[in-house]
Structure 1
């Protein structure tokens, strides 16, 4: 039986930001808890964080930094959105991040229609977010685009058709984008349940088996570095 992973692996020439940037100009980016602890990186200051991203890109002569799927991070400790005293800390990232300057075009990964959109305004959340629904070979799944500009939500409506490679948004600046250095959080979701305009992008260790199955590695689709 065909699965979502099968469908993702069959797709070619997929990009979700500025199509003019070749994948050879991408560089891997380690934001694991161990690495950021070693660097004593201040993750609470979006300006310093953006400078850190820019330095990483410059040092590697790259235009986009990428990574983070199933990465355990300290990035979320600053926000009660991920640290509810009544539940286990959520610190495992279940999407893929693409770090580049604000204003960069965000593209629909595949043909589809807008499922939902919302501005998620908690500190450390997605900020403006668009979710696109796709149906291929009779199988429905979703792609989520988070940390957008507020203007990206203008003129959009649920059910609006989008084409693969079509510009659907732009990356936002802090604090509108959840107060992060500018980047796109890109996530694939098999079962979105009843959620609209939002879906967890970070999970706890006890939830990992479920979310790693429900949210497969976005690089199966993007194929960066393969």
Structure 2
């Protein structure tokens, strides 16, 4: 499936506003191993300030990365934090794109609306859209999390979308699970019985399954020099 996804397009596919050129993107690590994260990682306000300084310092607009990254940030929420180390969900299954509240979010590929939902747990996705794609006989799904409430207010299941079409906008910390504004973009092969939601973070115990079912979104995005990816 990885070869198939990689070969869908030879050019990078966009999921945020195309007026932001690819040379305005920069990789970022928010892994537990990043010693630069000296602030309170449970605070969305301090995350927003850190990201603002990071982007300004590098004169960029979008910070991206995080596929299979081990993160401390989820320990703040009972939605992810379990008692045993094996069961703790802290391994990220998508790519995050950190940029301004209100940034346009685009469909990566042609498809239709599979489902949508406001996932309101603390630290969860907030407003979320899942698209279903069928290309060359293969079916898979793409998930867009941390959107604005307006993104799902008038949405209907089954609505057709074209590649690059605006499907929503980024929400702020009051609706997006209490994070600095960003898009969580994830690929899913088998959606199972989920509706408007799908695990975006794995435990060590379940990682082998999720690595197969949620391949690297950068197979489509083809963002340059994603140096923060942790390989297992």
TM bucket, shorter chain: over 0.9
- Aligned-residue offset at 1:20: 0.9
Q: Which residue of 1 aligns with 2:153?
A: 154
Tell me the matched-pair count.
Answer: 223
Q: In 2, distance between residues paired with 1:177 and 1:13?
A: 26
CA distance in 2, matches of 1:100, 1:112: 25
- Taking the TM superposition and a 5 Å limit, the aligned residue runs for 1:203-214 are 203-214=202-213
Structure 1 residues without counterparts, runs of 5 or longer: none
Once residues 125 and 3 of structure 2 are traced to their aligned partners in structure 1, the CA distance between those partners, rounded to angstroms, is 25
Superposed CA deviations along residues 98-130 of structure 1, whole A, max 9, x for unmatched, are: 000100000000000000000000000000000
Cα offset, 1:13, TM superposition: 4.0
Give how far 1:7 is off.
3.2
Cα displacement (A) at 1:41: 2.3
Q: Please name the residue that 1:74 is paired with.
A: 72
Distance 1:203 1:64 in 2: 25
1:61 corresponds to which residue? 59
Find the counterpart in structure 2 of residue 41 from structure 1.
Answer: 39
Q: 1:28 to 1:145 in 2, by over 3 A?
A: same
* 1:167 aligned partner: 166
Report the CA distance between 1:6 and its aligned residue.
Answer: 1.3
Report the Cα offset of residue 83 of structure 1. 1.1
C-alpha distance in 1, partners of 2:122/2:37?
23
Q: Secondary structure at the match of 2:76?
A: coil
* Residue number in structure 1 paired with 2:216: 217
Tell me how far apart the structure 2 counterparts of residues 58 and 180 of structure 1 sit (CA, whole Å).
Answer: 19
Cα distance in 2, alignment partners of residues 200 and 223 from structure 1: 23
Contact 2:12 2:223 in 1 (8 A): no
- TM-fit CA distance, 1:208: 1.0
Question: In the alignment, what sits opposite 1:189?
Answer: 188
Output the CA distance in 2 between the equivalents of 1:150 and 1:5.
35
Q: Aligned partners of 1:13 and 1:221: how far apart in 2?
A: 6
2:30·2:37 contact (CA, 8 Å) conserved in 1? no
TM-fit CA distance, 1:207: 1.0
- The alignment's C-alpha RMSD in Å is 1.3
1:4 CA displacement: 5.4
Cα distance per residue 1:135-173 (max 9 Å; x no partner): 001000000000000110021110000000000000000
User: 1:124-163 residue pairs with structure 2 within 5 A?
Assistant: 124-163=123-162
Deviates more, 1:7-16 or 1:57-66: 7-16
What whole-Å deviation, never above 9, does each CA across 1:9-67 have from its counterpart, x for those lacking one?
Answer: 331341000011111110001101011x5532211111111010111101111000000
Q: Is the 8 A contact 1:4 1:141 kept in 2?
A: no
The 4+ residue runs of structure 1 with deviation greater than 4 A are none
Q: Which runs of 5+ in 2 are unaligned?
A: 226-232
